[in-house]
A = this chain, B = another copy of it.
Amino acid sequence: QSNVTIGGIVDINLAHGSGSIANKSFVGSSGIGASQLRFTGVEDLGGQLRAGFWLDSMLQPDSGAGTPTNTNNQASGGAAALAGSQGLTFNRRSTLSLGGPLGELRLGRDYTPSYWNLPVYDPFGNLGVGSTHTLNGAITGATGVRASNAIAYYYGHAFNAFATGQSLQGLNVGAMAYAGENASNAADAGSGNGASVRVGWTAPAWSVAAATGRTRNVAGDLRQTNLGGAYDFGVVRVMGHLVRDRNGAVTAKGYLLGLTAAVGIHQWRASVSAYETDAPGRPKATKLAVGYVHNLSKRTAVYATGAVIDNEGGAAFGLNQAVTAPNARSRGFDLGVRHSF
C-alpha cells in the first residue's frame, strides 16, 4: 500500500571473543547495520504540514527472536523474556510526527537527543565489536540510548528522519521530555521522568554538536553530557567525542577518536575509545578497533572488524561475550554480511 514503506536490515556475522576466563564463538548480528524491520510513512497535509509515523523493530536474525523494549524508562520496565519467547516489539522507534516550517513534533519512543553524539561521531556507529566504549561501558541506565513516553521537538533535520543524526545544513536542535509514568503517590513518583537536549551545527565538510540529558531516579539521577564533532577531508573523515556521565554518586568520563576512509567500494574504520568512572579503584577500559567494509552494492556489504580492550583499576570488560578477569585484556572480531531492504 502506498501509505506504508517497509524496509529493514539483516546483518549476520561470525563473532568471537577471547578473554582470560572464557571465550565465546557465536553467530551474531548487527555488526555494521542494526538488524531491523520497519514500517514508515509520511503524509502531506498541505500548507507545508506533514504527518509521519515510524514503527521499527530490532531483530536478532541469528535466531529469529525479537528484542524487548522499555515501557517506563526505568529498570522495571525492561524485563527480558525467557530465551526463545521474546517476540517483535517496535523498540527501536515507535513514533508519530507532525511537522511544519517551524520544526517537527514527535511523540512516542525514540533515541534521546543526549545519546546521538555517541553513534554519529563513532566510525562504527555504536554497532558490533568495534562500538565505542563510551557506550558499552556507560553508566547511563535505562534512558542512555532511548526513551519511551516521549514528546520531542526537532529543528533542522529532515522530517520523520533519523532525528538529529540526519541533520540539514546549519543549526539543528533536538529536545525531548519523557515520562516514567509512576502513580503520584508512589515513593519513586518521579523516577523515569527526564529531559534531554542537543544543539548542533552542520556544514558541508564538518559538524559539531553538544548534548545533555537527565533522568530522575529514586536511587540518584542519571545524567549524560557529551560533545562531538567530525571533519570530512574527502577520502578520510575524522571524528571524536567527549562524554561526562553520572549515575547517582558515580561520575564517569570518556572519549573517542576515530576515522573512516572510503575509496570506491572499500571503507576502512578505526577508533580508540576509553571510559573511566570514579567508583572504587577508578575502573577504566580502553578499546582499539579497526574494521573493513566491502560494499557489494549500495544495499549489501561484507565486513570484518577486530578490537582489543585493556582493563585497568578493576574493570573487567570482555568483548563479544568473552569473560575476562579484572585488569585483563580481551579481544574480539566480527566477520559478516549486511543486507538492507
User: What residues make up the interface of A, taking CB atoms closer than 8 Å to B?
Assistant: 1, 3-8, 10-14, 21-27, 37, 39, 41, 43, 45-46, 49, 51-53, 55-57, 59-66, 68-72, 76-96, 98, 107-109, 148-151, 178-179, 181, 183-186, 296-297, 299-300, 302, 321, 323, 336-337, 339, 341
Contacts and interface: CB of A to CB of B under 8 A. Distances in A.
A84 B94 contact: no
B61 A55 contact: yes
A37 B12 contact: no
Going nearest first, the 4 A-B pairs with the smallest beta carbon separation are A87-B87, A79-B82, A64-B94, A64-B90
A84 B149 CA distance: 13
A151 B14 contact: yes
A65 B61 contact: no
A296 B51 CA distance: 9
Given A63-B71, A93-B64, A109-B61, A87 B84 contact: no
Contacts of A336: 107
Contact of A80 (B41, B85, B89, B96): B85
A26 B149 contact: yes
A108 B71 contact: no
Contact of A78 (B25, B57, B59, B84): B84
Contacts of A8: 4, 39, 55
A79 B83 contact: yes
Most buried by B among A70, A92, A150, A341: A341
Contact of A96 (B10, B37, B83, B321): B10
Contact of A53 (B45, B95, B323, B339): B339
Contacts of A52: 339
B299 A107 contact: no
A61 B26 contact: no
Nearest to A61: B94
A80 to B, nearest CB: 6
Nearest to A25: B179
A192 to B, nearest CB: 10
Most buried by B among A57, A62, A93: A62
B83 A86 contact: no
Contacts of A186: 22
A322 to B, nearest CB: 8
A94 B59 contact: yes
B61 A84 contact: no
Contact of A3 (B93, B96, B341): B341
Contact of A27 (B13, B77, B151): B151
A312 to B, nearest CB: 24
Given A4-B341, A55-B59, A82-B81, A148 B37 contact: no
Given A81-B81, A109-B64, A51 B297 contact: yes
A66 B79 contact: no
Contacts of A37: 39, 55
